[in-house]
Amino acid sequence: MQRTARLYLLIVGIAAFGILFILRAGSHLPAPGFPVNTPAASQVNRLDVPNAPVSLGESVEERLLRNAEDPLSRFFLQLFAVITVSYGVGWIFTRWGQPAVVGEMMAGVLLGPSLFGWLAPNAFQFVFAASSLDALRLLSQMGVCLFMFAVGMEMDWADLRQKASTAILVSHASIAIPGLLGAGLAYLFYERLAQPGASFVAFALFVAVSMSITAFPVLVRILQDREILRTSLGQIATACAAIGDATAWGLLALLVAFARSTDFAAAALCLGFVLIFVAVMFFVIKPNLPGWLGKEAIERPKPAKSLLAIVMAIVLACAFCTQWLGIHALFGAFVAGLIMPTAGGFRAKLGVRLENISSVLLLPVFFVSSGLRTEIGLLHGRIYWLICLLIIAFATVGKLGGSSLAARLTGLKWRESLQLGALMNTRGLMELIALNLGYELHILSQRAFSMLVLMALITTVMTGPLLTLFGSRKSRPKHGPSAELIYP
């Protein structure tokens, strides 16, 4: 031990002495220079070198403030605030019987100008300065694309075929009726809520679609938490939400294509390319993908890193294609999820690996990005609060009432029909994604965006209490001697 210590001191001492000698000798060398008029010389004069020596009079406080304003420091501070607040508020909401994702949505609003910016405007401007949000928004878009990829993988088309007739009727009624009410509200409040320059057709269709969306992943989490996912009610609700989401996102893709195009011909051409892309993905890539990936690789309990890299490359390529073709990247990620192989539980294994990074970091960033656009203070005056209440009421009546009525017409009992309507009224994250598209396309004003975010939050929070109200008698399992079939 002593011999090792002596060798250590000898080696480190010689190296340190040598470095000090070289530094002392090199301090007398002339500094390199550039010709006066070269681009390199002018660039050096303009650059602020981070490690440049500072004057002795500069205070520690000024130096720390300058370091905190560095883009990387501010980005890390934003992520710290997002993760801690989102986790804390999500945990509180789970104590209240709500899904954690609802609390994370609320955390995004709390970190925005509606609360944080109102209570501590200077701190809010420092943490979420407008000039520093580009990196946060790009990260949030990556989170949304991964989320939509996971949503696509959760859709089991083979299972949906067994309930297609009932599910299509209920899901499309839950789109048509609230869509009609949403278009009516858009007609009444177009001048107050649309962004300047937005056409009425785009605004009305966007409000109609945004009021028609069901949050399929949140609905599944609620069913799992209440242990009714495998009941007849849970399975028909899952089928209805899956078909409804696929339909709503298809309509939204059409709307985005038309909103981004300058004329009908350009929009039609864009949609033609998108249809070709979808056809290639479903009829060429999907049937051959299991063979390309390898049966043995798909069925392994733990997918290899090389396989995960190939899957992520597919997701990114699909996202790029739809963004390039004129609709949002999230549609491409959704299609990538739909074509993933199902053999050997491959989708479930991918979902587990995506959920950790997505739910802990990327989705909370998206919630905060949405919360920064939500300013409840814009709803000043009775008229705007009245409009907001009308939006919430019309959205609830249209979605819950339309789904319940359609379900009752298919033969379900009123109790189960109302429970199904309450589940279909869940909007959650899917609504926020649609609303952000409308805002980025300059269709929804910030005031309209804030109202619709409140509608998404309130209708999602309502789901649990309404299920309890309508389902005082717990749903029984679908299979077994005591099973009670909901279908006629």
Q: Kindly indicate the confidence band of residue 351, based on its pLDDT and cuts at 50, 70 and 90.
A: confident
Prediction pTM value? 0.74
pLDDT recorded at residue 69: 79
The verdict on residue 11 lying in a domain is: no
pLDDT, average across residues 355-380: 82
pLDDT recorded at residue 164: 67
The verdict on residue 309 lying in a domain is: yes
Q: What is the mean pLDDT of the chain?
A: 82
Of 425, 451, 426, residue with least CA distance to 438:
451
Which of 195-209, 269-283, 325-339, 473-487 shows the lowest per-residue confidence on average (mean pLDDT)? 473-487
pLDDT recorded at residue 37: 54
pLDDT, average across residues 34-52: 49
The pLDDT of residue 243 is above 50: yes
The verdict on residue 51 lying in a domain is: no
List residues bridging with 194 in a β-sheet: 444
Top mean-pLDDT range of 157-171, 174-188, 339-353: 174-188
Top mean-pLDDT range of 263-272, 351-360, 418-427: 418-427
Backbone torsions φ then ψ of 444, nearest 5 degrees: -95, 135
pLDDT recorded at residue 221: 73
pLDDT, average across residues 134-142: 87
201: domain CATH number?
1.20.1530.20
The verdict on residue 38 lying in a domain is: no
What is the tens place of the pLDDT at every residue in 120-134?
999 998 899 888 888
pLDDT recorded at residue 80: 93
Three-state secondary structure of 163-177:
CHHHHHHHHHHHHHH
Q: What is the residue whose two structure tokens read 């919430």? A: 392
pLDDT recorded at residue 102: 83
pLDDT, average across residues 182-188: 92
The verdict on residue 5 lying in a domain is: no
Q: Kindly indicate the confidence band of residue 488, based on its pLDDT and cuts at 50, 70 and 90.
A: very low
The pLDDT of residue 104 is above 80: yes
Number of domains in the chain: 1
List residues bridging with 444 in a β-sheet: 194
Separation between Cα atoms, residue 310 and residue 298, nearest integer Å: 12
pLDDT recorded at residue 53: 53
Range of the domain at 283: 81-125+133-470
CB 167 within 8 A of CB 112: no
pLDDT recorded at residue 156: 67
The verdict on residue 481 lying in a domain is: no
pLDDT recorded at residue 236: 84
The pLDDT of residue 77 is above 50: yes
The pLDDT of residue 232 is above 60: yes
Separation between Cα atoms, residue 216 and residue 238, nearest integer Å: 7
Q: How many Cβ atoms sit within 10 Å of the Cβ of residue 19?
A: 10
Residues 6+ apart with CB under 8 A from 51: none
Separation between Cα atoms, residue 113 and residue 373, nearest integer Å: 8
pLDDT recorded at residue 58: 56
CB 9 within 8 A of CB 17: no
pLDDT recorded at residue 249: 76
Q: Kindly indicate the confidence band of residue 392, based on its pLDDT and cuts at 50, 70 and 90.
A: very high
Q: Kindly indicate the confidence band of residue 158, based on its pLDDT and cuts at 50, 70 and 90.
A: low
The residue with greater pLDDT, 35 or 172, is 172
Apex 257 CA angle, 255 and 261, nearest 5: 120
Separation between Cα atoms, residue 99 and residue 457, nearest integer Å: 12
Q: In terms of DSSP H, where are the helices of 96-228? A: 100-110, 116-119, 121-127, 134-154, 157-161, 164-193, 200-210, 216-225
pLDDT recorded at residue 486: 31
The verdict on residue 298 lying in a domain is: yes
pLDDT, average across residues 273-300: 89
Q: What is the residue whose two structure tokens read 């980025």? A: 440
What is the tens place of the pLDDT at every residue in 56-76?
455 677 777 778 778 888 899
Q: How far does Cα 48 stand from its chain's mean position?
A: 37
The verdict on residue 66 lying in a domain is: no
Q: Kindly indicate the confidence band of residue 315, based on its pLDDT and cuts at 50, 70 and 90.
A: very high
